[in-house]
Amino acid sequence: MIKSKYIAFDFRLNEVKMSKKKSNFQKNGFVYLIIASTIFALILSSLSNPFSASTEISVTETLEMIADGKVKEVVVQGEKLTIIAKDGSKYFSSKESGISLLELMKDSGIDPLKNDANIVVKGRSGWGTAFNILFSFLPIIFFGGLILFMMRQAQGGANQTFGFGKSKARKFTENKSGVTFKDVAGVEEEKIELAEIVEFLQEPAKFIKLGAKVPKGVLLVGPPGTGKTLLAKAVAGEAAVPFYSISGSEFVEMFVGVGASRVRDLFGQAKINSPCIIFIDEIDAVGRHRGSGLGGGHDEREQTLNQILVEMDGFESGGFNIIIIAATNRPDILDPALLRPGRFDRRVVLDVPDMKSRTEILKVHSQGKPIEDGVDLSKLSEQTPGFSGADLANLMNESAILAARRKKDKIGHDDFAESIDRVLAGPAKMSKILSKQTIKVTACHEVGHALCGHLLPEADSPVKVSIISRGHMGGYTRFLPDDETALQTKKQLEARIVVALGGRAAEEVVLGEITTGASNDMEQATKIARTMIMKFGMSDILGPRTMGKREETVFLGREVSEQKDYSESLASVIDEEVKELITSAYEKSKSLIKDNIEILNNVVDYLIINETIEGETLTKLLSTQS
Ligand code: ADP
Ligand code: MG
Ligand code: ZN
């Protein structure tokens, strides 16, 4: 995410300007060419047709006029006759070639000697003819010019192609990025780590004196939206050294070898400006495990990666003071060579923020947003477990937009509450009209989830039930973990399956009918059960071992296929175990609901009227036996 505040310098600043000028000139030249030829053509046409406005008459009429003595002068130019009458009007006419005007006059009985018409004969090779010839060449000149222009353009294109090898890194100079460590909240240790690295660059002597080697690379690792890019930009803002920023994907281009040449160019620039920092965002785009690409070791990415490795080794011997910061959310797929000591030997791990950090991040993003008194940001962060920094920024922004739409001048509690739901599930669909039966089923289903969560001590507690439809959901129930940082026990995971199936169980128990609404719940339940058995070794029969290897497809980083590293007979045991987990969980949720059917019915009635039940009201309702 690049804010428009950023003042970015392009490496090729001069070149870009030059080529821009050139193309301006070319364009202007082209315009001049058109204007000039238009003017030229106009002049020509007016010259060769000086009396184009005058009337055209036939030869016979001309001769009659001469005979009547109305003509003062006739100018003969080849076949063209220009007649100037005594009253001043002009005519023109054309005769056949091969016969002169005098002969024509004689033929029609006019004696040229007696007639007072002045006959002027101008040669064919006069200006007019010359212009005529030129005029007929004009289109050729024009198109010639056009072709020349197009050839030049094409050449410019070729020059651009050759410029591909230049790195596209943007150079941020000190404090121009506008982001500083103050803008990054809730990552204190990580900031200290990075600040130390900046110090390495600014005062290397301090460390070298003690025999310490300046670290070469820092890898920022963390899920999307946790502030990796932001943190790197803050380093740019804090460091008093040049900062080059490029995204991994910018190395990958249409032509093979471009990536490697860009890397060379980037490091070349960096070496000239040492000490400096290079930031490679999303390095997994090029840093993928070598040998996994199609086409063996000649994959474009691999060449690029090899070049990065070579360059990183290179500036050790050169004594250059350069630190590379790279960011990725997929450290698992990076080539081990990148991670060995001497390359990206330091790792800064950013994680989804905990409650305290969330409060800090909310504080940062609430700056410049008027908030109603009594809104507690730490309460807000309590309600948003699992939100990344980007989600929180989004939440703040959504709330402000909502408050503005509601024509308030301060952001209030209900704006925040609605925005949390929006960020999680999408905007409410108020206009959607549902049948009474659907509303009843939805309410039953959601209260089923909530009730199971409430009754099971190991399960997360429900904080909100709603039958307002959002996105694909007809309704939803939100839970909050009691302790979001703790490790999960087997009991908790089992309880989660029970809660997930609580919706379907309620449908079956109360309405005696099951619906399609529970498909996502079952998917989740199955996923939890499978991971419990295959990844966490929580099966009594199979014991503590993992099963299946996750595999990446080469080009689609997201798509995960599973490699079987177990036998067919084991596969059927896994299936059995999953089935066992799910069936017993379903039985459990059905019995929970059967035993508390009155509570459920009460809450359902309340929910149908109120659409949403939240917080303490919900806890109270779920605990009251009528
Ligand atoms: P990443 O690169 O890790 O995917 P970004 O650095 O692009 O994430 O973060 C996206 C946005 O989320 C940032 O621009 C910022 O507004 C917000 N954000 C993320 N983490 C933090 C944080 N720790 N403090 C403040 N804002 C944050
Ligand atoms: Mg990023
Ligand atoms: Zn459900």
Per-residue pLDDT tens digits for 188-210: 989 998 888 888 887 888 888 88
Q: Are the beta carbons of 237 and 271 closer than 8 angstroms? A: no
Ligand 1 in contact with 221 (CB < 6 A)?
no
- Ranges of beta strands (E only) in 495-565 are 549-552, 560-563
State the pTM of this model.
0.67
Phi and psi dihedrals of 458, rounded to 5? Answer: -80, -20
* DSSP assignments along 312-362, one per residue: HHHHHHTT--EEEEEEES-GGGB-HHHHSTTSS-EEEE--S--HHHHHHHH
Percentage above 90 pLDDT, the chain: 24
More confident residue, 573 or 275: 573
Q: Which residues pair with 409 in a beta bridge?
A: none
Please determine, for residue 494, whether its predicted confidence score (pLDDT) is greater than 60.
yes
Query: Which ligand is nearest the CA of 389, by number?
Result: 1
Query: Which ligand is nearest the CA of 524, by number?
Result: 3
Ligand 1 in contact with 468 (CB < 6 A)?
no
Ligand 1 in contact with 390 (CB < 6 A)?
yes
Lowest mean pLDDT among 400-404, 480-484, 549-553: 549-553
Question: Relative to the CA of 187, which ligand 1 atom is closest?
Answer: 23
* pLDDT tens-digit series, residues 279-336: 888 888 887 776 655 545 456 777 788 888 888 887 766 667 888 899 998 888 888 8
Pick the CATH number of 57-124 from 1.10.3720.10, 3.40.50.300, 3.30.720.210, 3.40.50.720: 3.30.720.210
Q: Which residue has a Cα nearest atom 6 of ligand 1?
A: 227
Ligand 1 in contact with 389 (CB < 6 A)?
yes
The count of other CB atoms within 10 Å of the CB of residue 197 is 20
**In Å, what is the CA distance from 14 to each residue of 21, 170, 354?**
11, 14, 47
More confident residue, 401 or 243: 401
Q: If you measure from the C-alpha of residue 354 to the centroid of ligand 3, how many angstroms do you get, rounded to a whole number?
A: 27
Question: Relative to the CA of 185, which ligand 1 atom is closest?
Answer: 24
Average confidence (pLDDT) over 605-609:
93
More confident residue, 202 or 129: 202
Q: What pLDDT is recorded for position 500?
A: 94
Domain boundaries, the chain: 57-124, 176-349, 355-423, 436-623
Query: Which ligand is nearest the CA of 515, by number?
Result: 3
Q: How deeply is 131 buried, as exposed, middle or buried, from its count of CB atoms within 10 A (0-12, 13-18, 19+)? A: middle
| Fold of domain 436-623 | Methane Monooxygenase Hydroxylase; Chain G, domain 1 (1.20.58)
| Fold of domain 355-423 | Helicase, Ruva Protein; domain 3 (1.10.8)
Q: Which residue has a Cα nearest atom 17 of ligand 1?
A: 390
Ligand 1 in contact with 226 (CB < 6 A)?
yes
* pLDDT tens-digit series, residues 56-85: 888 888 888 888 878 888 888 777 888 888
Question: Relative to the CA of 360, which ligand 1 atom is closest?
Answer: 24
Ligand 1 in contact with 403 (CB < 6 A)?
no
DSSP-derived secondary structure letter, 409? S
Q: If you measure from the C-alpha of residue 230 to the centroid of ligand 1, how many angstroms do you get, rounded to a whole number?
A: 5
The first and second tokens of residue 304, run together, are 């690029």
579: CB partners within 8 A, 6+ apart:
none
Please determine, for residue 162, whether its predicted confidence score (pLDDT) is greater than 90.
no
Q: Are the beta carbons of 78 and 132 closer than 8 angstroms? A: no
Q: Are the beta carbons of 112 and 102 closer than 8 angstroms? A: yes
Ligand 1 in contact with 364 (CB < 6 A)?
yes
Q: If you measure from the C-alpha of residue 346 to the centroid of ligand 1, how many angstroms do you get, rounded to a whole number?
A: 21
Please determine, for residue 128, whether its predicted confidence score (pLDDT) is greater than 70.
no
**In Å, what is the CA distance from 418 to each residue of 249, 406, 466?**
37, 12, 12
Please determine, for residue 568, whether its predicted confidence score (pLDDT) is greater than 60.
yes
Q: Which residue has a Cα nearest atom 9 of ligand 1?
A: 227
Q: Which residue has a Cα nearest atom 27 of ligand 1?
A: 389
Q: What is the CA radius of gyration of the chain?
A: 42
- Give the side-chain half-sphere CA count within 13 A for 155: 10
Q: Which CATH architecture has domain 176-349?
A: 3-Layer(aba) Sandwich (3.40)
Q: What pLDDT is recorded for position 292?
A: 59
For residue 211, give the 3-state DSSP assignment. Answer: coil
Please give the Cα distance from 477 to 475 (Å, whole number): 7
Q: What pLDDT is recorded for position 553?
A: 47
Please give the Cα distance from 305 to 109 (Å, whole number): 100
Q: What pLDDT is recorded for position 30?
A: 59
Question: Relative to the CA of 3, which ligand 1 atom is closest?
Answer: 14
Q: How deeply is 279 buried, as exposed, middle or buried, from its count of CB atoms within 10 A (0-12, 13-18, 19+)? A: buried
| Pairs from 612-619 (Cβ < 8 Å, separation ≥ 24) | 612/464, 612/465, 612/466, 612/467, 612/468, 613/464, 613/465, 613/466, 614/417, 614/463, 614/464, 614/465, 615/463, 615/464, 618/450, 618/462, 618/463, 618/464, 618/465, 619/454, 619/461
Q: If you measure from the C-alpha of residue 573 to the centroid of ligand 1, how many angstroms do you get, rounded to a whole number?
A: 44
Q: What pLDDT is recorded for position 13?
A: 22
Q: What pLDDT is recorded for position 298?
A: 55
Q: What pLDDT is recorded for position 203?
A: 82
More confident residue, 266 or 10: 266
* pLDDT tens-digit series, residues 94-111: 877 777 777 777 777 777
Question: Relative to the CA of 232, which ligand 1 atom is closest?
Answer: 6
Q: What pLDDT is recorded for position 556?
A: 44
Please determine, for residue 165, whether its predicted confidence score (pLDDT) is greater than 50.
yes
Ligand 1 in contact with 5 (CB < 6 A)?
no
Pairing of strands 461-466, 476-480: antiparallel
* pLDDT tens-digit series, residues 430-473: 777 778 888 999 999 999 999 999 999 999 889 899 998 887 78
Q: What pLDDT is recorded for position 535?
A: 86
Phi and psi dihedrals of 316, rounded to 5? Answer: -75, -50
Q: Which residue has a Cα nearest atom 12 of ligand 1?
A: 390
Q: What pLDDT is recorded for position 592?
A: 94
Please determine, for residue 223, whether its predicted confidence score (pLDDT) is greater than 80.
yes
* pLDDT tens-digit series, residues 353-391: 988 999 999 999 999 899 998 889 988 888 888 889 999
Q: Are the beta carbons of 285 and 252 closer than 8 angstroms? A: yes
Q: If you measure from the C-alpha of residue 391 to the centroid of ligand 1, how many angstroms do you get, rounded to a whole number?
A: 9
* Mean of per-residue pLDDT scores for the chain: 79
Q: What pLDDT is recorded for position 317?
A: 66
Average confidence (pLDDT) over 340-352:
85
Percentage above 70 pLDDT, the chain: 81
Q: How deeply is 180 buried, as exposed, middle or buried, from its count of CB atoms within 10 A (0-12, 13-18, 19+)? A: middle
More confident residue, 147 or 9: 147
Q: If you measure from the C-alpha of residue 546 to the centroid of ligand 2, how many angstroms do you get, rounded to a whole number?
A: 32
Q: How confident is the model at residue 164 (pLDDT cuts 50, 70, 90)?
A: low
Lowest mean pLDDT among 100-114, 180-194, 217-231, 570-584: 100-114
Lowest mean pLDDT among 60-69, 115-124, 217-226: 115-124
Q: What pLDDT is recorded for position 154?
A: 64
Please determine, for residue 400, whether its predicted confidence score (pLDDT) is greater than 90.
yes
Please give the Cα distance from 525 to 584 (Å, whole number): 12
Ligand 1 in contact with 1 (CB < 6 A)?
yes
Question: Relative to the CA of 183, which ligand 1 atom is closest?
Answer: 25
Nearest to 304 by CA among 292, 287, 291: 287
Please give the Cα distance from 358 to 420 (Å, whole number): 14
Please determine, for residue 19, whether its predicted confidence score (pLDDT) is greater than 50.
no
Q: If you measure from the C-alpha of residue 231 to the centroid of ligand 1, how many angstroms do you get, rounded to a whole number?
A: 8
Query: Which ligand is nearest the CA of 387, by number?
Result: 1
Ligand 1 in contact with 234 (CB < 6 A)?
no
List, by residue number, the catalytic residues. Answer: 446
Q: Which of 230, 328, 361 to mutate to test the pocket of ligand 1 (most atoms within 8 A of CB)?
A: 230
Question: Relative to the CA of 231, which ligand 1 atom is closest?
Answer: 6
436-623 matches 355-423 in CATH topology: no
